[in-house]
Chain A
Amino acid sequence: MTAAGLLPEGTAAVDLVRRFADAFNAAAAGDDLAPLAAASTPTAVAGFLVESHSGTVQPLASRTSVPAGARLDVDADGVEVVASGVLVTRFRGHGFARDDFAGDVELHVRDGQVVRVVFRAP
C-alpha cells in the first residue's frame, strides 16, 4: 500500500483490474448487477468519453454503464499506477453501442474498491 493507504501496488493492482473486469462481465452477463459489489462500492460512478461525444457520468451499477450482454477485455498485466489510487490500463469492449469501443480505462480506487471508472475511447 502507499503511504496514503489507498493504493494496491504491484500484484495487487493487477489483481484489482482483473477482479473489476470479472465483476463487470458477470454483471453484464447475468440478470442483475450484484456481481459488481465484488470490485466496486455501491456508489461508484462510471464516466464514458468516446470520440466525438461528450462525457457521460452515471452510476456504475446501472444498465447504462453495464449493458446486458456486453463484455470487457482488459490488459491487466499492463496496468500502470499513474497517481495515488488511480490505475490505468488498456481495454476493449464488446457488445457496446460502438463496435470500436476501445482505449484506456481509468480506475479510481479506495480501500481496495473501485469508486470511479472512466472509459476513454479515442
Chain B
Amino acid sequence: MSQDQQTVGTGTVGRRVFIKGLAATGALAGGMAVTGPALGAPANGHARGRPTPFSQGWTSQPGRFVDDVSLPDGFTYDVVASYGDAIGNGQTFGYNNDFVAYFPLRDSHRREEGLLWVNHEYPDPFFLHGSTNPATKTAEQIRIEQYVVGGSVIRVQRDGDGPWKLRRDRHHARRITATSPRIRMTGAGIGDPANPKWAPVPDWTHGSLANCAGGITPWGTALSGEENWADFGRTSGFGYGWGPDFLPENNGGYGWVLEVDPKDPDWAPRKHTNLGRLRHENATVWAREGKHLVVYTGDDARDKFLYKYVSAGRYQRARGRANSRLFHDGQLWVAEFAPASQDETVRSGTGRWRQVEMSPAALVDPDTWVRAQPWFDPTTFQLNRPEDAEIDRFDNSLYTALTNNTDDPHGRIRRLAEEGRDPTADTFAWSDIAVGGPDPGQTRGFSSPDNLVFDRLGNLWMVTDISSGSLNNPANSYAYHRNNGIFMIRVGGPDAGLAFRFGSVPNEAESTGPIWSPRQDSMFLAIQHPGEETSVKGGVRGNPATYTSYWPRGNKTTGENPSEPLPSVIAIRRA
C-alpha cells in the first residue's frame, strides 16, 4: 500500500490512547506506535454506541479546485449559519466568520444543544454595499460594516444523528459589534503610554473588531484575538475608511484579547491588556488546579514574535468565572529560539522566555519594546508569522503554526516542549514536526498552516490559509494545493509529521476555527471569504455570474445557481 493510498486510522491507534495504555502498565516509552486491528466504520458512524473517531475510516484526499466543501466518502456537512441569518433578538449573523467555540447547553440521547461563539474578522464592502473605495463611503455604509464585525453568540442543536441547525434564541443570541457593548479594560496596559503614536488605554471601551482566532477558558468564557485592528480607520489602499476615531493614535481600545461569557449577556466583556497589544491571532489557555494560568498568543505578521502570559495568581476550579481575574495581574513573556528562529535548515533547538515590561508603554506596542532591548536579536526572535497554537493536553507541549514568509513560502508547525512539561517554565525545547511543501502524490503536501485543534485521540487537525491570489495559479509553487484544505497530522508514531488531507474548501475561501462538538462526532468549521477576489477582478455587484464563488447556495464550478457567496459556519459529520 502506498503512503498516498493508506487508509487513515485503520492501522494505528492514536498516540494518546497508546501512551495512556502503556502508562497503565508502567511501560511508558515515547515515540512508538502499535498496529491495531482495523476499525470499521458502521454506516451510522457509531461503534458499540460510541461515535467512530473522525480520524478513522477515510483515505487521504487529493486537493480539489471545486466551489464546495469536498470531504471523504461517508462524510457530509450542514450549513449552520451564514452571513445575514437571523439569530434571535432581532440580531443577524456577522460577516467573515473565524474562530468558533462551542459551549454545551444540553446533551441527551435525543438532542444535543449548545451555544457557539463565533468571531467575525472583517467586512467585505463589495458584497455588503458595493463601495470598495475607503475614501468615499457613506455613514450608512460604514455603519453596516461596523455591525457585521466582532462576534456572534448563536444557539445550535441537533436531533439524534441528524443535521445541525441554527435555532433562533431569545435568551442567549446576541452580537458584539465594532461599537457595542461597553467593554471593561483590565491589566497593566491601562494608562498613557506617553507616545504620540498610541492613544491612552482607557478603563472602558466600546465594541470589538478584527476578531481572528481565540481560545476557550475552563470557566466557560471565550477569548477572541483582535488582529488587524489598525486598518479600520485608515483611508489608504487597505483601510476601511471608518475615520479618526478608529485610528491607533486616537483610540486605545482595540488590539487586545477580548473575553466574553456566551451564556451570560449581563457579564460585561473584558479586554485584557496584560496579553499585550499586537496582531493577536489567538489566545490559547492552559489551566490546571492550583497552578498559574498560562495563555499563549501569536503576533500574526511577518517577522513577529510568540508570547505567553503567566498569571500571578493560581487557577482554582471552584472559583468559576472569578478566575477571569487571573488576567489582571501577571507577566508577559516573549519567546527566543536557539540557534535560530527562522533558518529553514534548522529543525530543532532550545529556547527561553524573556520578560516584557508590564507598563502601558511596553504593552501598547510590545514588538517595538522587545526590539529596543539589549538582548534582542532578530535571528532568534523573529518568526514566520505565528498563527494559531494548540496545547497537547497529554504532555503540555505547544504546537504553533508558522504559516509562511518570504524564505519559507509553505510554512511549518513547530512544537515547543516546556521544561519539565510545565508551561510556566522559563525554557523550552523546540522542533518543527511538520514542514509544508508540495507532495508528488498530491494528498499529503500542505502550505500555509493556520488554525489548529487536537482531537481526543491526540491527532492534530489543521486548516490552511494560502492567499487567494496564489491559489490555482499554475505559475507558482502553490498550484499543487488546489483550494485551501483541511488536514489531520499525526504528532507521534510512524506517521508523525505526515499530513493527511481530509478535505478542500470553496473557491478563494480559507477555513477557520475548527472545533469539536462535545461527542467529537461533528467538527464545526468557519468558511471565510469565499469569492474574495471578485472585487479586484472586476466583478459587478448584482451580477452573480461575475462572482468567483457561489457557495453555499450555488457552485461556480458546476455553474449551479449563480449567487452571492456567503461566509458560513458548517458542521462536518458522518453521512
| A interface with B by C-beta (< 8 Å) | 46-59, 62-65, 67, 80, 82, 88, 96-104, 116, 118-120, 122
In the bound assembly, the distance between CA atoms of A99 and B154 in angstroms comes to: 36
In the bound assembly, the distance between CA atoms of A97 and B237 in angstroms comes to: 8
- Complex contact A58–B470 (CB within 8 A): no
In the bound assembly, the distance between CA atoms of A46 and B238 in angstroms comes to: 11
In the bound assembly, the distance between CA atoms of A63 and B467 in angstroms comes to: 26
- Complex contact A57–B536 (CB within 8 A): yes
Residue numbers in A under 8 Å from B124 (CB-CB): 54-55
**Quick one: which of A59, A80, A104 has the most chain B CB within 10 A?**
A104
In the bound assembly, the distance between CA atoms of A99 and B238 in angstroms comes to: 12
In the assembled complex, B538 has its CB within 8 A of some CB on chain A: yes
Can you list 18 pairs linking A and B with CB atoms under 8 Å apart? A52-B121, A52-B212, A54-B125, A54-B126, A54-B529, A55-B534, A56-B239, A58-B136, A58-B237, A59-B133, A63-B135, A64-B237, A65-B237, A100-B302, A102-B302, A116-B538, A118-B536, A122-B466
- Complex contact B134–A52 (CB within 8 A): no
Residues facing A in B459-483 (CB within 8 A) are 466-470, 475
CB proximity of B380 to chain A, nearest CB, Å: 19
Selected from B125, B133, B135, B230, the residue in CB contact (under 8 A) with A97 is B230
In the bound assembly, the distance between CA atoms of A121 and B469 in angstroms comes to: 9
In the bound assembly, the distance between CA atoms of A55 and B536 in angstroms comes to: 6
Interface string of B473-515 (1 = CB under 8 A from A): 0010000000000000000000000000000000000000000
In the bound assembly, the distance between CA atoms of A99 and B451 in angstroms comes to: 24
Select from chain B the residue with minimum beta-carbon distance to A50.
Answer: B238
- Complex contact A120–B238 (CB within 8 A): no
* With known contacts A49-B469, A64-B135, A122-B470, A55–B535 Cβ distance under 8 A: yes
- Complex contact A53–B231 (CB within 8 A): yes
Residue numbers in B under 8 Å from A48 (CB-CB): 237-238, 536
Please list the 9 inter-chain residue pairs (A to B) with the smallest Cβ-Cβ separation, ordered nearest first: A122-B467, A47-B536, A120-B469, A58-B133, A55-B535, A54-B124, A48-B237, A100-B302, A55-B536
- Complex contact A97–B227 (CB within 8 A): no
| B interface with A by C-beta (< 8 Å) | 96, 121-126, 132-136, 210, 212, 227-228, 230-231, 234-239, 300-303, 404, 406, 448, 466-470, 475, 529, 532-538
Residue numbers in A under 8 Å from B228 (CB-CB): 51-53
Prevailing SS type, chain B contact patch:
loop
- Complex contact A102–B406 (CB within 8 A): yes
- Complex contact B237–A100 (CB within 8 A): no
* With known contacts A120-B467, A120-B469, A56–B234 Cβ distance under 8 A: no
Selected from A80, A99, A100, the residue in CB contact (under 8 A) with B475 is A80
In the bound assembly, the distance between CA atoms of A103 and B302 in angstroms comes to: 12
With A53-B231, A55-B536, A97-B236 already in contact, 15 other A-B pairs whose C-beta atoms are closer than 8 Å: A49-B469, A52-B210, A52-B300, A55-B126, A55-B532, A55-B535, A56-B237, A57-B535, A57-B536, A58-B134, A67-B236, A97-B239, A101-B238, A118-B536, A122-B470
- Complex contact A100–B303 (CB within 8 A): yes
- Complex contact A56–B134 (CB within 8 A): yes
- Complex contact A56–B535 (CB within 8 A): yes
Select from chain B the residue with minimum beta-carbon distance to A65.
Answer: B237
* With known contacts A47-B535, A49-B469, A49-B532, A54–B123 Cβ distance under 8 A: yes
Select from chain A the residue with minimum beta-carbon distance to B237.
Answer: A48
Residue numbers in A under 8 Å from B448 (CB-CB): 122
Residue numbers in B under 8 Å from A49 (CB-CB): 467-469, 532-533, 536
Selected from B236, B468, B534, the residue in CB contact (under 8 A) with A96 is B236
Select from chain A the residue with minimum beta-carbon distance to B534.
Answer: A55
In the bound assembly, the distance between CA atoms of A58 and B236 in angstroms comes to: 10
In the bound assembly, the distance between CA atoms of A47 and B210 in angstroms comes to: 21
CB proximity of B96 to chain A, nearest CB, Å: 8
Residue numbers in B under 8 Å from A65 (CB-CB): 237
Select from chain A the residue with minimum beta-carbon distance to B468.
Answer: A49
- Complex contact A53–B470 (CB within 8 A): no
Select from chain B the residue with minimum beta-carbon distance to A46.
Answer: B237
- Complex contact A104–B469 (CB within 8 A): yes
* With known contacts A54-B125, A55-B124, A56-B535, A67–B237 Cβ distance under 8 A: yes
In the bound assembly, the distance between CA atoms of A55 and B237 in angstroms comes to: 9
- Complex contact A57–B133 (CB within 8 A): yes
Residue numbers in A under 8 Å from B133 (CB-CB): 56-59, 64
Select from chain A the residue with minimum beta-carbon distance to B123.
Answer: A54
In the bound assembly, the distance between CA atoms of A116 and B535 in angstroms comes to: 12
In the bound assembly, the distance between CA atoms of A38 and B238 in angstroms comes to: 25
- Complex contact B121–A122 (CB within 8 A): no
CB proximity of B456 to chain A, nearest CB, Å: 30
In the bound assembly, the distance between CA atoms of A36 and B76 in angstroms comes to: 52
Residue numbers in B under 8 Å from A98 (CB-CB): 231, 238, 301
Select from chain B the residue with minimum beta-carbon distance to A54.
Answer: B124
**Quick one: which of B122, B303, B536 has the most chain A CB within 10 A?**
B536
Selected from A55, A80, A100, the residue in CB contact (under 8 A) with B301 is A100
Residue numbers in A under 8 Å from B529 (CB-CB): 54
- Complex contact A53–B238 (CB within 8 A): yes
In the bound assembly, the distance between CA atoms of A100 and B529 in angstroms comes to: 21
Select from chain B the residue with minimum beta-carbon distance to A92.
Answer: B406
In the bound assembly, the distance between CA atoms of A118 and B537 in angstroms comes to: 9
**Quick one: which of A47, A80, A116 has the most chain B CB within 10 A?**
A47
- Complex contact B535–A54 (CB within 8 A): yes
In the bound assembly, the distance between CA atoms of A82 and B100 in angstroms comes to: 38
- Complex contact B532–A54 (CB within 8 A): yes
In the bound assembly, the distance between CA atoms of A55 and B125 in angstroms comes to: 8
In the bound assembly, the distance between CA atoms of A57 and B448 in angstroms comes to: 26
Select from chain A the residue with minimum beta-carbon distance to B529.
Answer: A54
Residue numbers in A under 8 Å from B468 (CB-CB): 49, 120
Select from chain B the residue with minimum beta-carbon distance to A116.
Answer: B538
In the bound assembly, the distance between CA atoms of A97 and B232 in angstroms comes to: 11
Residue numbers in A under 8 Å from B236 (CB-CB): 63-64, 67, 96-97
